[in-house]
Structure 1
Amino acid sequence: MGRTNGGGGGSSPSSDSSRKFMEFAERNARLAGRLADLKVGSAELFLQTTEQTRMALCISDPNKPDCPIVYCNQAFVELTGYQRDDIVGQNCRFLQGRGTKPEAVSKLRQAVETEEYTVVDILNYRKDGTAFWNAVHVGPIYHEDGSIAYFFGSQWDITELLAARETIVENERIATELRHRTDNLFAVLAAIVRLSAKDTDDAAELSEKIERRIEALAGAHRMSLTGEGLAEDKSNLRTLVESVLRPYRNSHADRLEIEGGAFDLSRKNITPLGLTLHELATNALKYGALSTVDGKVRVDWKETEQFVEIHWIENLGSASERLDTHPPTQGSGSGSRLINGVVRGTGGSISTDYRPDGLQATIRLPIKNKVSF
């Protein structure tokens, strides 16, 4: 709240300042008349008023080097935790600290240099080191001849107000995200029922297929709500892969390999990827590597500039010839259409290659997910 040059000698107001000064002078003349009627000295009235208000106030002198504080009221003392003797004589920057943004300081400095009124939200620090958000209102005070006399500053602790505002914004974001996810879940559920029904006329088989897919969908969705929940839009990729494949690893512990470093997967990608891995694992158990005596499955991943690539690699082992019955992920099966749809909805893609020694699939998911399924 101080002039950067901080030298003595008042400066003459600009043309805008002159106009404002004339307005102030007229208003002050009217106020002076009213104050005279109160029969109370102006200094006494000022002190009693400022000391009783709960608004923190200070006055600084731009005509002295570094524009020091020359007066502060009791509310300012209580707000900052400093004693009056520790405050008077200092520039207001003594309340600034490591987290104070230069933009806020610059705005205050510009207001002082141009003799303008301004309000700035700035991060300040109390004597005990605790931070608080301070709504600082700064403005000039002129002599009768129009020269600058002082700057006043009022301070208001808005920490709780900003926290409440952020809570409202965060709650709105979470509500929007939950609506978005609910819509997505219903869309995928509808696709599961619709596509599953195309592959069979047997009610029991259809029921089992739908039930397993919905269980996989629910498991992946639960994953997206664990850990940091909705507060952090990410979840560990390895945790998801291990969770989806755990039922298969229990009976094929030495035939399922998971290899990959730590990677924070966008939560928007968790449900589609979990459902896709479930389909691939189910197909491997029925038709692929896990249906043979010594077949193996390997899952690994790597990060590229825009995508994370998840590789599903099957090795049929001794059954090295291509199977006559292809997995449902090939062609127009419901599994293929389902996972193609959910992966494509993320802005990603899935490609499959049916080799003589087993299926290889590559799932590409965008690192910065902007599209939802």
Structure 2
Amino acid sequence: MALEISKIMDRAVSSTAEGITLSDISSPEQPLVYVNGSFERMTGYGKDELLGKNCRFLQGKETDKNEVAKIRNAINLRQNCTVELVNYKKNGEKFWNRLTVSPVSLPEDATQYYVGVQCDITDIKVAQKKITDYSLKLEQKNESIKNALQGFNATIGRAMYNASSTSKRLAEKEISADREVAKMLAKINEATESVNDLILNLRAALVHLGGADRLHNIDLVNFKVLRNSPDTKR
């Protein structure tokens, strides 16, 4: 029965989609003593090219040395460890490898081997980078929109402030009794209401885009025709 289970385990390890390796850490070079077919396909190397070598030959210029140090430290302490690092295939193509290493304890209470489980997560990393790049572009686009809205808000605010000042000066000079001037002021009042609504909408858009902290302090304008102005409808 034990022999049958052993054969089943051998078949299971050989059939799994993850790359499985076994390293002899009792040797100074900690060479590979077993690799399954998935690891061969993942790296592009044949079994005869892998056995007897340390896995470090899969490393390259983009391999994070800090992640490699984590593996080395875990083995020295006889601990489990999971890292994500760039490795290189036989043809030079790089791939992202999620590697988990675990000590294999023997009956003699000595750790001679380490099992490594490797998973190619290149597609996940590529997708994550696309999401990050898209988010950055979206943030930049939103920033451009905020700047445009802020500039528009400021321009309208200044123009309407000037118009408001003119209206007030006309009222102070008591020339609003003139029918034509009264009509002009009434039209300004009507236009101002529309512009005020536009400014409010612009401010709401800026708040939605996160630009509220940089809003220009421009008050809404209110034009008032003097109470003693002639009725423009007469």
Matched, 1:40 2:4: yes
Match of residue 86 from structure 2: 123
Match of residue 60 from structure 2: 97
Match of residue 157 from structure 2: 194
Match of residue 113 from structure 1: 76
> How big is each residue's C-alpha offset from its partner over 1:193-240, in whole Å with a ceiling of 9 and x where there is no partner?
222445577xxxxxxxxxxxxxxxxxxxxxxxxxxxxxxxxxxxxxxx
Match of residue 347 from structure 1: none
- Between the aligned partners of 1:115 and 1:93, the Cα distance in structure 2 is 19
Match of residue 183 from structure 1: 146
- Between the aligned partners of 1:128 and 1:199, the Cα distance in structure 2 is 71
> How big is each residue's C-alpha offset from its partner over 1:248-306, in whole Å with a ceiling of 9 and x where there is no partner?
xxxxxxxxxxxxxxxxxxxxxxxxxxxxxxxxxxxxxxxxxxxxxxxxxxxxxxxxxxx
Match of residue 161 from structure 1: 124
- Between the aligned partners of 2:123 and 2:61, the Cα distance in structure 1 is 20
**Poorly superposed stretches of 4+, deviation over 6 Å:** none
> How big is each residue's C-alpha offset from its partner over 1:305-339, in whole Å with a ceiling of 9 and x where there is no partner?
xxxxxxxxxxxxxxxxxxxxxxxxxxxxxxxxxxx
Aligned Cα RMSD in Å?
A: 2.0
CA shift for structure 1 position 45:
2.3
Matched, 1:57 2:5: no
Task: Report which of the two has the higher share of helix.
Answer: 2
- Between the aligned partners of 1:184 and 1:98, the Cα distance in structure 2 is 41
- Once the two structures are superposed, the pairs formed by residues 221-232 of structure 1 within 5 Å of their partners are none
CA shift for structure 1 position 102:
1.1
Gaps spanning 5+ residues in structure 2: where? 167-215, 217-234
CA shift for structure 1 position 46:
2.8
- Between the aligned partners of 1:124 and 1:158, the Cα distance in structure 2 is 11
* Aligned sequence identity (%): 29
* TM superposition score normalised by structure 2: 0.66
Match of residue 177 from structure 2: none
Match of residue 77 from structure 1: 40
Gaps spanning 5+ residues in structure 1: where? 1-34, 202-340, 342-373
> How many residues are aligned here?
166
Task: Report which of the two has the higher share of strand.
Answer: 1
Residue identity in the other structure for 2:90: K
Answer 1 or 2: higher relative contact order, Cα 8 Å, separation at least 6: 2
- Between the aligned partners of 1:87 and 1:139, the Cα distance in structure 2 is 19
Match of residue 110 from structure 2: 147
- Between the aligned partners of 2:32 and 2:155, the Cα distance in structure 1 is 70
Pair member with larger Rg = 2
Residue identity in the other structure for 2:65: P
Residue identity in the other structure for 2:124: L
Residue identity in the other structure for 1:128: N
Matched, 1:86 2:86: no
- Once the two structures are superposed, the pairs formed by residues 234-313 of structure 1 within 5 Å of their partners are none
> How big is each residue's C-alpha offset from its partner over 1:90-145, in whole Å with a ceiling of 9 and x where there is no partner?
00101001111210110110011111111001110000001111100001001112
Match of residue 232 from structure 2: none
CA shift for structure 1 position 184:
2.3
- Between the aligned partners of 1:146 and 1:184, the Cα distance in structure 2 is 67
- Between the aligned partners of 2:45 and 2:65, the Cα distance in structure 1 is 23
- Between the aligned partners of 2:54 and 2:156, the Cα distance in structure 1 is 70
Match of residue 176 from structure 2: none
Match of residue 254 from structure 1: none
- Between the aligned partners of 2:158 and 2:96, the Cα distance in structure 1 is 55
Match of residue 199 from structure 2: none
Residue identity in the other structure for 1:132: F
